[in-house]
Amino acid sequence: MKNAIILLLIFGPQLLSIAQDSIFIRRIYDEALLRGQAHENLRQLCKDIGPRLSGSAQAQMAVDWSYEKMLSYGFDHTDRQPVLVPHWERGTTEAAWFKTHQGKIIRVHLLALGGSVGTNGLLEGEVIEFKQLSDLQKASPKEVKGKIVFLNQPMDASQIQTFKAYGACYAIRGNGAVEAGKLGAKAVLIRSLGLPEDEHPHTGSMHYEAGIEKIPAAALATTDASALAAALQKGKVQFYLEMDCRDYPDVLSANVFAELKGSAYPNQIITIGGHLDSWDTGEGAHDDGAGVIHCLEALRILKILGYQPTHTIRVVFFMNEENGNKGGQGYAKYVKQNGEQQIAALESDRGGFAPRGFGLDGPDSYLQLLTSFEPLFKPYDLHIFEKGYGGVDIGPLKEQYPGIPLFGFIPDSQRYFDYHHAPSDVFEAVNKRELELGAAAIASFVYLLDKNL
């Protein structure tokens, strides 16, 4: 009995804390699953506002919608932070065809890559195919000059973690126009960065370099990329392309944020969020409507349950992640200039699928803290607690706050690249329960983080 009393005195407070945490996390999940507002809020953002490319009218309406929504929840403080963002427009719908060596004309599904120049009318050229970017880099100007380069590198379907497959071929999109332009190509086409074979092309950002001629850049749907490759096996192919995209002067936009003030350390901030902007062809439901709604719902749940945080918890809807990251960069400078102590940040930007865990981008000293949460999350099927990646929007905080831990929310990734940057990324593609589970996981994680930092 004496030993039992001693053990109780030593471990009793810790066991009591664990029990209290378990009960509160259960309340979080009940609120998200039984009375949650995440799905309806995502519907409003996707259907009432629509696609939200930086600089567009829809992006401005999304800022207004977000601000009013945050005000309606009665958080301790809601505000907007002005950000100057790029303004690129797709213009008229792209049109493209290829003609086989037998003279058969086939129309293809294609999207200009974000930031591409237009074609100034109908552009025509012979196609030359490369299996990967390194093959193009080894080619001679004689081979490529005056032709349309086709980079036909598929995502590696053998990768279990699909973000690794995406990262391995991202360069064909980001750098393809530069490498093709160096060799005198007329334009560059890439196989869409998506795993399924379908008719939905996937857009995304690309860049040019000073001193290298800017050439049009576009992504082919995977089915059309396969068809073009098959036609090239049989003979020469001519490609026809028209795009009317162009750049405009930068536009003033804003990050939108709201917070629950900390009771003990109000100037110590835990930032959570995702990016409000999206590409212009779908509705940005998974990328990143789900992410901002996850974090908004997490803050709403903590408030409705009466949780008083120790540190200030701030949700931020960042503008311009897709083609510039001006929101993330501007936020990091803004909070540093204001003298804030940013002590941790979390980002959700991997879709609205079933939650799997959290990754840490930061010092190893925080890994023990992260893994200590695992037992409390086990009943909710979260099992990934490891070193990983935070996110594009919160990444600039590392420059201003060396050593800050950045956490990335990790949902199941197997279907993400079915929708990423594609017209199919619409509200209907997001499962209501999976979205709610994600919001609950983030609210629970932030609750534990606030208690233990």
Alpha-carbon distances, residue 88 vs 101, 204, 423 (angstroms): 36, 12, 18
Where are the extended beta strands (E) located within 212-294?
217-220, 238-242, 246-260, 265-275
- Is the C-alpha dihedral spanning 118, 124, 125, 126 positive or negative? positive
Angle (nearest 5°) at CA 127 between 124 and 129: 155
- Taking residue 319's Cβ as centre, other Cβ atoms within 10 Å add up to 35
Angle (nearest 5°) at CA 157 between 428 and 139: 115
Q: Is 247 exposed, middle or buried (0-12, 13-18, 19+ CB in 10 A)?
A: middle
Q: Is 365 exposed, middle or buried (0-12, 13-18, 19+ CB in 10 A)?
A: exposed
Alpha-carbon distances, residue 278 vs 68, 173, 204, 265, 425 (angstroms): 20, 17, 10, 34, 10
**CB proximity list for 331: less than 8 A, separation 6 or greater:** 81, 255, 271, 316, 318, 393, 396, 397
Q: Is 278 helix (H, G, I), strand (E, B) or coil?
A: coil
First to last CA, the chain: 36
**CB proximity list for 147: less than 8 A, separation 6 or greater:** 125, 126, 127, 128, 185, 186
Residue in 321, 322, 347, 436 annotated catalytic: 321
Closest CA to 82 of 267, 296, 327, 362: 327
Neighbouring C-alpha atoms within 13 Å toward the C-beta of 181: 19
Q: What residues are paired with 83 via a beta bridge? A: 253
- Please identify which residue in the block is written with the tokens 């850049």: 217
Structure tokens at 38: 């995440």
Q: Is 114 helix (H, G, I), strand (E, B) or coil?
A: strand
Is 321 among the catalytic positions? Answer: yes
Active site (catalytic) residues: 321
